[in-house]
Structure 1
Amino acid sequence: MTRRILSVFGFCILGAVAWAEPGPRAVADLVGVAHREFTDPDRSNWAGTGARPVRVTLWYPSAGGGAAEQIGNEGESVTVQREGRIAASPERYPLIMLSHGSGSNAAQVFWLGHFLAQHGFLVVALDHNGTDEEELGRKAPTLTDFFGWERAKDVSVALTRLLADPEFSPRIDPARIGAAGFSLGATTALWTAGARLDLETLRRHSPPPPPMIAPAIEGLIAFSQTDHVAQASVARANNSYRDPRIQSVFALAPPMGAGFTPEGLRDVNVPVLIVVGDADLIAPADGNARHFAAHLPHARLVVVPGERGHYLRPIAAEQRRAELREVAELARTFFEEQRPRSR
């Protein structure tokens, strides 16, 4: 690998934001939150001492019975029922696998997960990044963000485990499983639908990393050339991570367009909605969202005003909430347009 390989992740890291809830509760139903921890025996952890951990947070319509808890950040919060009972329904719930951006975690996308759960979805948000110890002390970017394709496999592993979960599996509609993500999480969602990275193409066309993280990138490049776990990851970078259970994808501000050739996108055969802000500086529409939309066979592109997630410029909290609410509504509408629910 060279300096330019995956340096695009550096720009995504600069765009990590503290998310806000997109607006007032749309419905009165309670939302439950639960956590699960799994491992993937087919992949090593970064230390090479055991299986890779895969952790998730679930948001779902709840019948109560849990402990009331506030979640959120920067003064924006919502009340959830920790380990609350999943609400009874005559229909199974559509399932959305949700992937966060780089340098982030599942809690940072609560604005979307909570909103979808309010509207009758079961949402599984991945916590791709491990603890500092599990990431071997690497930050900005973490190992998991630098070797970003590993995130797609995390999604499939978590999905398999959830479909066997005695509490949640009977409530999931297997015909309505989708993936959603923001920034690197959006690209993760596209990976699960069959998009294939070309690492050499990414190397040739990615910009150099921002100066503030260039030393970290240099260290990761050296690590990838000497560490056997990292070398194994690089060897599978160009693999297909298509999961046939994923039937639709919502992608907000996907980066890394430079690494996906038209040939690498043509096998994505599910509906895809791509949303991007016209003022996005981290993953600008040209070369990213527009590139994906032009070459994915069943993609639709929506360009909205503002930055929409990659907030680098000052913005009033109320305006940000309104903008994210609009994005959440787009996601809800898109997923509700997909196949009818199973009974």
Structure 2
Amino acid sequence: MNTNLHQLCLSALLAIGFALPGEASDFAPAVAEFKAAYPDMDRKMQGRVWYPSHAEGPEDLLRGSAVWRDVSGHLDAGIAPGLFPVVLISHGMYGNTMNQAWLAKRLAAEGVIVIQPNHPGTTSFDRDPDHARQLWLRATDLSIALDEALTDPRFADHIDPTRVAAAGHSLGGYTVMAAAGARHDVAHYAAGCAKSPTRTDCEVIDMWKVGADPADHDALQSDRSDPRIRTVIPMDLGGAQTFAPESLAEIDMPVLVLGAGRGDMLDQDVESRALAAALPADLVTHIEVVDAGHFDYMGICTDEGYAVLKREAPGDEIVCIKAHDERMAQHDHIFELIMDHLRATDVIPQG
């Protein structure tokens, strides 16, 4: 396993009539857990939904950690009256819903319902190899999670199903692109990995035995798009080279490709730059966030986080580089880029 993949695996393990969204102060960010199951197979998920509320008083602590700053929200508070847009968020390799909780919480405060499933087989809480092998189901996880929310009495009457977006970090970026219609191409991908076998994405696919059994090829290469999704936002994605070039050229929705200007984990030429170049020019916006690293799309580290990781998981401290004031500033910038895109694509209504 190469150094980049080793660091990626370790760090991940640590790891709305139409009520218009108002000012951030109008809503208190609330959070609740959910469970969902596939109707036709043994694949169960759990995750979190962040949503706008009018809760008062102190927030509840969701996570305390020696490495990561505390995350809090109004646990199980009643949802605010109204109909709200939805953003589905997909975590990265061996990640979980806490990785982008900072983003989900900010969106909820702006009047957005955010659905975050933990993907079976590729989450911190479930690394079952058979689930990991079925990589094609990651995009379907988002659809199943949305289906569940649309029948959940806590949220069903508050979701606007015509205003749905999806955002994903790292492997989550791969996931949202598949949900937009990008299709895996076994032969194309194998040819690329034959030339660069130590490339991080090639090692991950090989480790999980994705496509190793020809019996999986039809499912792996199938269309996993969800027509309810109107725009996607891959954030420093991994896995761009898995996709058939023609399927990327056929994407018919706006895509905001957010890269990492610091390029500390993934090769931008292989990933975000290559993805942006393959998408329809009139539908893609590619922004390489200046001085942002791969892990700036994750949470804020504690003051001691870097030292804790350097001592207990040497090499993994990369997740906490520039992870205090600098990362908070990056979060502000990334959030505004995402909000601008959601407004421009009318996921968040204008005016």
Same fold by TM-score, threshold 0.5 exceeded? yes
Q: How does 1:138-157 map to 2 (within 5 A)?
A: 144-157=131-144
Query: Any unmatched runs of 5+ in structure 2?
Result: 16-22, 297-317
Q: 2:190 aligns with which of 199, 203, 223?
A: 203
8 Å contact from structure 2 (residues 59, 72) kept in 1: yes
Match of 1:299 among 278, 284, 287: 284
Task: Give the length in aligned residue pairs.
Answer: 311
Provide closer, same or farther for how the CA distance between residues 159 and 75 of structure 1 changes in structure 2, counting only shifts above 3 A: closer
Larger RCO: 1 or 2 (CA < 8 Å, sep 6+): 1
> Equivalents in 1 of 2:290, 2:132: separation in Å?
28
Match of 2:78 in 1: 85
Match of 2:179 in 1: 192
Partner of 1:325: 332
Provide TM-score, normalisation by structure 1: 0.79
CA distance in 2, matches of 1:133, 1:61: 27
What amino acid is aligned across from residue 308 of structure 1 in structure 2?
G
Where do 1:269-280 residues align within 5 Å? 269-280=252-263
For 1:239-318, what aligned pairs fall within 5 Å after superposition? 239-297=222-280, 298-310=283-295, 312=318, 314-318=321-325
Q: Where is the strand percentage greater, Structure 1 or Structure 2?
A: 1
CA distance in 2, matches of 1:222, 1:239: 14
Deviations 1:147-176 (A, max 9, x none): 432210101111112122222121111221
The CA deviation at 1:40 is 0.4
CA distance in 1, matches of 2:167, 2:75: 23
Of the structure 1 ranges 9-18 and 297-306, higher mean CA displacement relative to structure 2 is found in 9-18
- Which residue identity lines up with residue 120 of structure 1 in the other structure? G
Residue 334 of structure 1 and its aligned partner are, at CA, apart by 1.0
> Given that residues 100 and 182 in structure 1 are in contact (C-alpha distance below 8 angstroms), is that contact kept between their aligned partners in structure 2?
yes
In structure 2, how many angstroms separate the alpha carbons of the residues matched to 1:335 and 1:304? 17
Worse overlay, 160-169 or 271-280: 160-169
Please, what TM-score do these two structures have when normalized by structure 2?
Answer: 0.77
Give the counterpart letter for 1:238 in structure 2: Q
Aligned pair 1:63/2:50, yes or no?
A: no
The residue aligned with 1:228 is: none
Cα deviation, residue 14, structure 1: 5.9
Q: CA RMSD in A?
A: 3.4
Structure 1: give runs of 5+ residues left out of the alignment: 20-24, 44-50, 226-230
CA contact (8 A) 2:134 2:210 kept: no
Q: 1:223 to 1:148 in 2, by over 3 A?
A: closer
Aligned partners of 2:265 and 2:294 also within 8 Å: no
- Give the deviation of 1:185 after TM superposition: 0.5
Structure 1 Cα separation of the partners of residues 207 and 171 of structure 2: 21
Aligned-partner residue type, residue 151 of structure 1:
R
